Chains A and B, each alone.
Chain A
Amino acid sequence: MTTTLIILAIVILLIFIFIGMYNSLVRLRNAVKNAWSQIDVQLKRRHDLIPNLIETVKGYMVHERELLEAITKYRASAMEAQGVGNISRAEGALSGALGRLNIAMENYPDLKANQNFLALQEELSSTENKIAFSRQNYNDQVMMFNNKIEMFPSNIIAGMFNFKQAEFFEIEDKAEREVPKVSFK
């Protein structure tokens, strides 16, 4: 009688531990999804701002036509990209081009007198920041989730219920971003 009770208690305890681990995996996976949707919101916002920006600076930055065209092209391919890996590559290219545009703007003092442009620039640089910060947050969440999947004993449950590792949102090498060399075809 006592032995049965003890065994029963152990089984119930195990079930509870099992449920707890499963739930924390689900919670982490949802946190990753949520963090991703935050990035997505900001990326959309960036895509929306770019045509406006180009329209505003076009008249001033006559010598940067190629750069502006490149930005339009990168934006289009970033909007089409699917999957974390592809999106992060496409957005990385777009970030690089926008960074170069930002540097180039320094040569156009007239732009800075344009109130419309200043408001737009604040919006854009804030959106860039928000992308960077939500990426930071997303990667933190992904790391916690991936750790949980790999670590014992939660890896058993992760294996049973087919939890897959999430992909990091990487931005390509900083040095590569800052050197202004792009081949326009």
Chain B
Amino acid sequence: MWELVRANKRKSLMLFILMGIVLLSLGYFIGLYVKPPEGGTAGLLIALAIWGILSLISFFQGNKIILAISHAKEVTPDIHPRLFNVVEEMKIAAGLPKMPKVYIINEEAPNAFATGYRPDNAAIAVTSGLLARLNRDELQGVVAHETAHIFNRDVQFMTVAGIMLGSIVLISQLFLRSMLYSGGRYRSDSKGGQGQIILLAIALIFAILAPIAAQLLYFAISRKREYLADATAVRFTRYPEGLASALEKISVNTSELKSANKVTAGMYIVNPLKREGMRLSDLSSTHPPISERIRILRSIAGGAGYLEYQKAFQQVTGKAQHIIPSSGLKEEENAALRDKPLETKTQATAKENKRILGDLMMTVSSFTFLNCSCGLKIKVPPEFTKKQVQCPRCGNFLPLVK
């Protein structure tokens, strides 16, 4: 397993170098076009500066920003003991140095994500819709998938790659827009000539192609990492059916996650945004098709090792592609699968679950609960400042102590 993390690090380093070259040459050629010949260096430095600033922001604040725009609330163990237990189980299975922080997002759409630069500084967020729908084994599968992202350093990798992609897109957009509005004004204040036109062509081609190439690269890697996280999750739980049936339940859902956007979409366990045309978007999707992931998980037969996942992947997709770096397969010792679910207990009904979760979210958002003598439970929002509340059923006044 650790060999795999190392192989991942090597691979991502190569990708970063590649994207870095694209980023710097983009800056260089634009600079060169704007003010030849000394502008090249300036353009390069500006590109570097943009990247540096974005990286610094994400390094120090990225976690907080992402959790804030997703409306995730940190919770304590007493609010949802089961979620905490499951996260701790996966922390143990992965041998993480520290317990990830646990967040709940109050949304109906079932989904989850992980963030954090380092394994000792990670967080896992799940939506309340997910908690309401999944049983223990399924929840464990989802949390295992997220823990796998932390363990495989995917979060770190996707953030760094995402920042590079963002810088490339930003710079190209700036250049293309300025070209559009200035109508190629820069050309007139230089001596002109063939060299200038060639430079313009190179700068334009770079500005148009670089973001597309970088995006496709980013998406391809993102999809691959999803498969890898599934494989690692199976390795952690030894129970592929948990994750498979969780994905199945999640895929039935049709509501869109309101707090997700294009930037954060890649982080979730399944794509939180609604898909338009299927086929065409396959290349530009951050996630592999869910049905395929489920089929792969269900065809794992021989054990919980990476090699078994690789076999199942090839069998289902018919592609000879290697999802797992071969260095990860070599050292691999297979492990037996767990054959039966841990929980035989029947689940509470969907309605009960919703009520429980509704109360839970209110506790999270610091609502006050009052029990009226007539048997009504009054839930008071934190914005309410008066000293007493009137019970809507019996009309009694209840003192409000916060």
Q: Residues of A with Cβ closer than 8 Å to B? A: 35, 38, 42, 102, 106, 112, 119, 121-123, 125-126, 128-130, 133-134, 136-137, 140-141, 143-144
Cα distance A35–B97 in the bound complex, in angstroms = 11
Cα distance A125–B335 in the bound complex, in angstroms = 21
Q: Contact flags (1/0) for B363-395 with A, using CB distance below 8 Å?
A: 000000000000000000000000000000000
Note all chain B residues with C-beta closer than 8 A to A121.
345
Cα distance A102–B342 in the bound complex, in angstroms = 10
Q: Kindly identify, within residues 1 to 43 of chain B, every residue whose CB is under 8 Å from any CB belonging to chain A.
A: 1-2
The residue from A122, A136, A141, A143 contacting B82, defined by CB atoms under 8 A apart: A122
**New A-B contacts (15) at CB < 8 Å, excluding given A106-B344, A136-B238:** A42-B92, A102-B344, A112-B345, A121-B345, A122-B82, A122-B85, A123-B85, A125-B342, A126-B85, A129-B342, A133-B90, A134-B92, A137-B93, A137-B95, A140-B95
B352 near A: Cβ within 8 Å? no
B276 near A: Cβ within 8 Å? no
In the assembled complex, the CB of B128 is this many whole angstroms from the nearest CB of chain A, namely 18
Would you call A130 and B86 a contact (CB within 8 A)? no
Q: Report which residue of A106, A112, A121, A122 has the largest number of chain B beta carbons within 10 angstroms of its beta carbon.
A: A122
Q: Which residue of A lies closest to B346 (CB)?
A: A112
The residue from B1, B2, B85, B92 contacting A38, defined by CB atoms under 8 A apart: B92
The residue from B1, B82, B92, B346 contacting A133, defined by CB atoms under 8 A apart: B92
Would you call A130 and B344 a contact (CB within 8 A)? no
Cα distance A119–B93 in the bound complex, in angstroms = 23
Note all chain A residues with C-beta closer than 8 A to B140.
129
B175 near A: Cβ within 8 Å? no
Q: Kindly identify, within residues 283 to 307 of chain B, every residue whose CB is under 8 Å from any CB belonging to chain A.
A: none
Cα distance A137–B1 in the bound complex, in angstroms = 11
Cα distance A141–B95 in the bound complex, in angstroms = 10
Would you call A143 and B333 a contact (CB within 8 A)? yes
Note all chain A residues with C-beta closer than 8 A to B344.
102, 106
Q: Which residue of A lies closest to B91 (CB)?
A: A133
Note all chain B residues with C-beta closer than 8 A to A119.
81
The answer to whether residues A133 and B89 also contact, given A112-B345, A125-B342, A125-B343 and a CB cut-off of 8 A, is: yes
Note all chain A residues with C-beta closer than 8 A to B345.
112, 121
In the assembled complex, the CB of B265 is this many whole angstroms from the nearest CB of chain A, namely 30
Q: Residues of B with Cβ closer than 8 Å to A? A: 1-2, 81-82, 85-86, 88-90, 92-95, 136, 140, 236, 238, 333, 335, 342-346
In the assembled complex, the CB of B355 is this many whole angstroms from the nearest CB of chain A, namely 15
In the assembled complex, the CB of A60 is this many whole angstroms from the nearest CB of chain B, namely 15
User: Would you give 7 A-B contacts (Cβ < 8 Å), ordered by A?
Assistant: A122-B82, A123-B81, A125-B342, A125-B343, A126-B82, A129-B89, A129-B140
Note all chain B residues with C-beta closer than 8 A to A133.
89-90, 92-93, 236
In the assembled complex, the CB of B256 is this many whole angstroms from the nearest CB of chain A, namely 32
The residue from B81, B88, B95, B238 contacting A122, defined by CB atoms under 8 A apart: B81
Note all chain A residues with C-beta closer than 8 A to B342.
125, 128-129
Cα distance A137–B88 in the bound complex, in angstroms = 13
The answer to whether residues A130 and B95 also contact, given A125-B342, A140-B1 and a CB cut-off of 8 A, is: no
Q: Which residue of A lies closest to B85 (CB)?
A: A126
In the assembled complex, the CB of A2 is this many whole angstroms from the nearest CB of chain B, namely 37
Note all chain A residues with C-beta closer than 8 A to B81.
119, 122-123
Would you call A130 and B88 a contact (CB within 8 A)? yes
Q: Report which residue of A38, A125, A136 has the largest number of chain B beta carbons within 10 angstroms of its beta carbon.
A: A136
Would you call A35 and B95 a contact (CB within 8 A)? yes
Q: Which residue of A lies closest to B81 (CB)?
A: A122
In the assembled complex, the CB of B234 is this many whole angstroms from the nearest CB of chain A, namely 12
Note all chain B residues with C-beta closer than 8 A to A126.
82, 85-86, 88-89
In the assembled complex, the CB of B86 is this many whole angstroms from the nearest CB of chain A, namely 7
Listed from nearest, the 8 A-B pairs whose CB atoms lie closest are: A126-B85, A133-B93, A133-B92, A129-B89, A137-B95, A134-B92, A130-B89, A130-B92
In the assembled complex, the CB of B81 is this many whole angstroms from the nearest CB of chain A, namely 6
Note all chain B residues with C-beta closer than 8 A to A137.
92-95
In the assembled complex, the CB of B240 is this many whole angstroms from the nearest CB of chain A, namely 15
Q: Which residue of B lies closest to A127 (CB)?
A: B85
Note all chain B residues with C-beta closer than 8 A to A106.
344
Cα distance A35–B89 in the bound complex, in angstroms = 14
In the assembled complex, the CB of A43 is this many whole angstroms from the nearest CB of chain B, namely 13
Cα distance A121–B86 in the bound complex, in angstroms = 14
Note all chain B residues with C-beta closer than 8 A to A42.
92
In the assembled complex, the CB of B95 is this many whole angstroms from the nearest CB of chain A, namely 5
In the assembled complex, the CB of A52 is this many whole angstroms from the nearest CB of chain B, namely 15
Note all chain B residues with C-beta closer than 8 A to A130.
85, 88-89, 92
Note all chain A residues with C-beta closer than 8 A to B2.
144
Q: Report which residue of A102, A128, A130, A133 has the largest number of chain B beta carbons within 10 angstroms of its beta carbon.
A: A133
Note all chain B residues with C-beta closer than 8 A to A143.
333
In the assembled complex, the CB of B306 is this many whole angstroms from the nearest CB of chain A, namely 13
Cα distance A122–B89 in the bound complex, in angstroms = 13
Note all chain B residues with C-beta closer than 8 A to A102.
344
Cα distance A2–B140 in the bound complex, in angstroms = 64
In the assembled complex, the CB of A48 is this many whole angstroms from the nearest CB of chain B, namely 15
Q: Which residue of A lies closest to B235 (CB)?
A: A136
Note all chain B residues with C-beta closer than 8 A to A35.
95
The residue from B85, B88, B93, B343 contacting A136, defined by CB atoms under 8 A apart: B93
In the assembled complex, the CB of A149 is this many whole angstroms from the nearest CB of chain B, namely 16
In the assembled complex, the CB of A171 is this many whole angstroms from the nearest CB of chain B, namely 11
